[in-house]
Amino acid sequence: MAAVAVATRGWRLLLVLSTAGVAAAGARQPPNILLLLMDDMGWGDLGVYGEPSRETPNLDRMAAEGMLFPNFYSANPLCSPSRAALLTGRLPIRNGFYTTNAHARNAYTPQEVVGGIPDSEFLLPELLREAGYTSKIVGKWHLGHRPQFHPLKHGFDEWFGSPNCHFGPFDNRAKPNIPVYRDWEMVGRFYEEFPINLKTGEANLTQIYLQEALDFIRRQQARQRPFFLYWAIDATHAPVYASRPFLGTSQRGRYGDAVREVDDSVGRILRLLRDLSLAENTFVFFTSDNGAALVSAPEQGGCWSLSSWLPSEWAQTTHTSESTVWPPAEQKGLPWSGSLQAGGSNGPFLCGKQTTFEGGMRVPAIAWWPGHVPAGQVSHQLGSIMDLFSTSLSLAGLKVPHDRTVDGLNLLPAILQGQLVDRPIFYYRGNTLMALTLGLYKAHFWTWTNSWEEFKQGIDFCPGQNVSGVTTHTQEEHTKLPLIFHLGRDPGERYPLSFGSAEYQDVLGRITPAVQQHQEALIPGQPQLNVCNQAVMNWAPPGCEKLGKCLRPPESVPEKCSWPH
């Protein structure tokens, strides 16, 4: 395996050098690239996307000065696969970020997972290096936390952030707390050196991540070298947090406080670019890894396996309406399973994170590049987070690797010339193609929100939304006669086209060959999210000795990861 990886790497270098374009020829310094990736932020969370409290003036201004994409999609309804897809330009089914442990299951990289980003994948920063870029990741990596998956082994030159989610654990007992790295070494752990107050929601992490970004931009400007900054912050992922000046300032509660701080930070970053006269030479793109988490249950989407480690204060914070309710729910017939979690909005779309409905995968997206991207534009291009890979390479004057399928599209013709390219959007769970969007039509081949067992426990990924036959709690197959929606007339996926209509037949006739072509050419990657092992957790990350923070790992017991939805 290692030998193969080395061989691939050598060949890759040749490939990239041979395809280097204008920029590498030294004619002109290519633009800096700044990807602002939000965590669980929904399509409907920005004022410019219709959020009623209108608390995102900086992002709304970014849209007014740039280009808004109303039809932009993540590559998966869950974080790790979506992020792997962004950095590789390839669907999770190709780059290995999926599971085959059960049918149509979402999977990610909790710290017990053994897998991570394969060496055989080309990551964006590795490729950009060939065009002279210096790359930094600030925030959540989520492509594997074992040594071979470290971001600095995959093309980044700098890292400040965490390998896994910040949602827990909190006490280093059953699992180690998640480490925070500066480059190769951990510099502390969440809930220890990097506190997040679960009662008040206070944490200054976004401010730290902001300073990391501003500092990096300033340093690169001084060096006069092109940079790639991947700002992957997580304040809007549960448990959502904000620093003290923002706490309690939003009409939307704690989630809104987090959004306000994110918005303010984006404003500061764009302002610095202007102040340093970098704005016209920096391509900035804002988006989110998946739709907003609409979980109405005590536990959070994606964090379901961690409930046994939840400390008592976390339970108190989030379970209030269950534990203190009066009179008891049963007496009133009221929706007490629907207690409010701090989560975002998917606007008019159905369901949220974890699902392959529009609310799970349609995300906010704004391109900003003063002097290049015309102001105040809206592009109806169907876009994907994977396009950021191909678009960034194009900006750098590089070509995409031609030895493999790349799903990402170069968006520059859409952004700079207003061109529209017909392309499909694929919605996967695990290795199951759940749905496909082609133009304005979306076909569901499988529907599933989550199991009846989970749903009856109160875990609901579509709270307040129930479309009979669509938001199903058994895995319903529709491969022969897909449920087809017209997303223009019916963005909320409420009214499937009639099977007998001419419109249905016409659409089916176009969708069928698109699916066949995709599936015939598909070479699935080795699934990375099948095996879990308590021994691989962050017990003793590099640097732990200096801090006296090394923990003792348990015995190695590989087992199949459990992915319940």
Residue 548 binds its own copies, judged by CB under 8 A: no
Contact partners, residue 175, CB within 8 Å, separation at least 6: 111, 112, 168, 169, 309, 534, 537
Q: Could you give the count of Cα atoms lying within 13 Å of 530 in the half-sphere of its Cβ?
A: 11
Q: Any contact of residue 491 with its own copies (CB under 8 A)?
A: yes
Backbone angles phi and psi of 367, in degrees to 5: -105, 135
Q: Which stretch binds its own copies (CB under 8 A): 96-104, 323-331, 506-514, 538-546?
A: 323-331
Q: Which residues in the 239-268 window bind its own copies by CB under 8 A?
A: 250-253, 255-256
Other beta carbons within 10 angstroms of residue 433's beta carbon come to 22
**Could you tell me if 87 and 389 are in contact, meaning their C-beta atoms sit under 8 angstroms apart?**
yes
For Cα atoms 134, 135, 138, give the angle at the middle one, nearest 5 degrees.
145
Q: Based on the shown chain and the rule CB under 8 A, indicate whether residue 325 belongs to the binding site for its own copies.
A: yes
Decide: is 347 part of the binding site for its own copies (CB under 8 A): yes
* Interface mask toward its own copies for 432-471; x: CB under 8 A: --------x----------------------xxxxxxxx-
Binding-site residue ranges:
39-40, 79, 289-290
Kind plus residue range of the DSSP H or E element containing 482: none
Distance in angstroms (rounded) separating the CA atoms of residues 263 and 254? 14
Is 561 annotated in the active site?
no
Tell which one of 4, 378, 420, 535 touches its own copies (CB under 8 A). Answer: 378
Report yes or no: 187 and 542 within 8 Å, Cβ to Cβ.
no
CB of 389 within 8 A of CB of 408? yes
Distances (CA, A) of 9 to 3, 5, 151, 441: 10, 6, 16, 40
How near is the Cβ of 334 to its own copies at its closest, in Å?
4
State in angstroms the smallest separation of the CB of 350 from its own copies.
7
Question: Of the candidates 147, 245, 418, 488, which one interacts with its own copies according to CB under 8 A?
Answer: 488
| 3-class secondary-structure state, position 77 | coil
Between 474 and 512, whose beta carbon lies closer to its own copies? 474
Q: How far apart are the first and last CA of the chain?
A: 31
Q: Which of 380, 456, 546, 560 binds its own copies (CB under 8 A)?
A: 380
Catalytic residue among 142, 154, 478, 565: 142
Catalytic residue among 79, 165, 351, 462: 79
Q: What whole-number distance in Å separates Cα of residue 172 and Cα of residue 150?
A: 22
Across the strands, what pairs with 190?
Answer: 194
Residue with tokens 């710290």: 111
- How far apart are CB 238 and its own copies at their closest, in Å? 14
Q: Decide if 142 is catalytic.
A: yes
Asked if 386 is part of the footprint of its own copies (rule: CB under 8 A), the reply reads: no
Span from 171-179, 337-345, 395-403, 553-561 in contact with its own copies (CB under 8 A):
337-345
Task: In angstroms, give the least distance from the CB of 414 to its own copies.
Answer: 15
191 near its own copies, rule: CB under 8 A? no
Instruction: List the beta bridge partners of residue 18.
Output: none
Name every residue whose Cβ is closer than 8 Å to that of residue 113 and which is 6 or more positions away in sequence.
144, 528, 529, 531, 532, 536, 561
User: Which of these ranges, 17-25, 84-92, 389-397, 495-503, lies near its own copies under the rule CB under 8 A?
Assistant: 495-503
Residues marked active site are found at 79, 142
State the residues that interact with its own copies by CB under 8 A.
Answer: 44, 47-54, 64, 68, 70-71, 250-253, 255-256, 296, 320-321, 324-327, 332-335, 337-340, 342, 345, 347-348, 350, 378, 380, 440, 463-470, 483, 486-501
